[in-house]
Chain A
């Protein structure tokens, strides 16, 4: 109720509702929020009522370290909503957090990036969730389009550009030209699959069980996508499966490279499929300019080199690849504020 009035006191937001992190760009203010998409839920053992204990960074600290009555949930999975109610609460928390005014509940126009491989049902769930969180108007934009705009690719040109967005849950590759998507493909491989691969590798080869935060730490510190002369090592601790006691051991970058082979090959296959499906004129443009990498996966060491070796194309890592999607959405929002008809472009729904 009174959404229009509340909208006058709200800022338009571009939200990158990612599997791993949620980023919010405020129109005219840049990136104002970058927090993990994690929610800690407290369940009353007597009455059975569930309440939100923490959201974002605070909840991520609790990940894997919670007592019985507390559970940490990642409401997004593979780029789409896995828990509708928790996602709504999380969005509501983030939207209120970026609005300093407390007098009225914010009711902003929101642009949310969605995986291009998501179904209509999944998109509707995201839209409903944002509306439930207080959004006045919800626009949905495909993630590769937002990523391309955020990376600074001139999407309005009649020239093809390929963008590969490696996110937490999905990797999406798209060929973009004339403000539209010519080809889009997505694989459910992302940072989470990398972590999972590392956990499995460590359990299989060392007989040690490690948690998701530890796997993520290994990935960040010594993860590499291409063999390098420089071998880096990290000492980690986990629970030995045979002895049942915590043990410490050392992993090196070559071992992690071996662990990541399967998910990496899945991403390479997606890129090759996209190249095969690209019309010849656009393929020529892509061959001349190269592939632009965005998303958190682009920060993995030598991933550009791997794709270059596999495809023979120039690969460019966008500036600040983690925030490309949110920034791209923000630029689109700024355009919509000037020209309402801009919602008809950029494959916005």
Chain B
């Protein structure tokens, strides 16, 4: 061998080493496998791996093999089987993949409720809503009138009872609230204003409960005198007179169904003796006449806030109320009402609301 040939040999060896260094991992593995005349399938079978993994390793398609931790395992075993240095195989893999071997950041899948922050504010919204409702309720606490609820309950009950026709309707709408002072004397006076057929003396009036909420029935009352259009009890501040024509023409009918004509009988609880009560109220005593051309719910309170009358007034009926002015009036169907205060017609047009029919206003002497 000439020196020149020796130089060529050294050069070719160096070149082949350079080529081995620069060749890809897949080519390096393929070259090692072909030295053993082994097929990819044989290798896969021997290692207990899927043949696609061996194919991916040899084609340098390493991204298909999943996380680096598993690729390193495949490479180590493959290199060990082929008798290649494991460390070199791993180094080649590291060179080839560069910095992409860093594991991807951890991911946590949150439940759906965690995905939007807006939903986390639902609690705050509900709390604000609750506070708003509570604040409104506190602000309007004085305007709340439980009598309306009681009246509705009473009306519904009387309606259902009257529909059955078995017993007379309880038409006494006098209300006694729990927060009100117990009246000194509770007298329920009821009279039936029937022009054509006055009640006979012997007729016994079906008791009208003096207290709507009270389950105890009142004692039956027997009128001592023939019925009058309006009866004013000494302790009674208000007498409602119903002009509803009654169909009761006989004593039998007067005893029961005739009572249906009575719409409302309210008794103002006296705070003192009858004389005292009369003396105190006589200074500002006023008389209120309400006529209804249509069905209308009505509530009237006097200056002390006592409920003088409330309930559903029938069409073509008139009611007289006396009490201390000013009156706080609530009408469910204001256009149907005609009001006369101390023989002076009140202009109700100004109280008719723009929307709806319910109006609330205060009536006093001297007002238009």
Residues of A whose CB lies within 8 Å of any CB of B are 149, 151-156, 178-179, 288-290, 292, 308, 312-319, 331-332, 334-335, 339, 341-342, 344-346
Contact = CB atoms under 8 A, between A and B. Distances in A.
Given A153-B67, A314-B47, A314-B48, A290 B73 contact: yes
A332 B74 contact: no
Contacts of A315: 73
A338 to B, nearest CB: 9
Given A313-B48, A314-B70, A345-B109, 10 more contacts: A152-B103, A153-B67, A179-B108, A290-B70, A315-B73, A319-B72, A331-B106, A335-B105, A335-B106, A346-B108
A334 B103 CA distance: 14
B66 to A, nearest CB: 7
Interface in B100-149: 103-110, 114
Nearest to B65: A289
A335 B108 contact: yes
A292 B66 CA distance: 14
Contacts of B344: none
A149 B67 contact: no
A156 B50 contact: no
A248 B104 CA distance: 51
Given A288-B50, A312-B48, A156 B73 contact: no
A11 to B, nearest CB: 19
Which of A154, A292, A334 has the most B CB atoms < 10 Å from its CB?
Answer: A154
Nearest to B74: A314
A155 B69 CA distance: 12
A334 B115 CA distance: 20
A345 B106 CA distance: 11
A334 B105 CA distance: 9
Contacts of A339: 108
A129 B114 CA distance: 33
B68 interface: yes
18 contacts: A152-B103, A153-B67, A156-B107, A156-B109, A178-B109, A179-B109, A288-B50, A290-B73, A308-B48, A316-B72, A317-B76, A318-B69, A319-B69, A339-B108, A341-B108, A341-B110, A341-B114, A345-B108
Contacts of B76: 316-317
Top 5 nearest A-B pairs by Cβ distance? A316-B73, A152-B103, A152-B69, A345-B108, A156-B107
A288 B68 CA distance: 15
Contacts of B49: 314
B45 interface: no
B69 A316 contact: yes
Contacts of A151: 69
A316 B73 CA distance: 4
A289 B47 contact: no
A312 B77 CA distance: 13
Contact of B108 (A156, A308, A319): A156
Contact of A317 (B66, B73, B105, B108): B73
A161 to B, nearest CB: 9
B106 A292 contact: no
A330 B320 CA distance: 88
Interface in B29-73: 47-50, 66-70, 72-73
A344 B104 CA distance: 20
Contact of B69 (A288, A292, A312, A345): A292
Contacts of B105: 331, 335
A124 B298 CA distance: 71
Contacts of A332: 106
A334 to B, nearest CB: 8
A289 B66 contact: yes
Contacts of B77: 308, 314
A274 B235 CA distance: 94
B69 to A, nearest CB: 4
A314 B107 CA distance: 26
A329 B114 CA distance: 23
A292 B106 CA distance: 18
Given A288-B50, A314-B49, A152 B67 contact: yes
A308 B73 CA distance: 12
Contacts of A292: 69-70, 73
Contacts of B107: 156
B47 A154 contact: no
Contacts of A317: 73, 76
B232 to A, nearest CB: 77
A152 B106 CA distance: 10
Nearest to B66: A289
B48 A153 contact: no
Nearest to B94: A319
A309 to B, nearest CB: 11
A154 B109 contact: no
Contacts of B74: 314
Contacts of A319: 69, 72
A292 B68 CA distance: 12
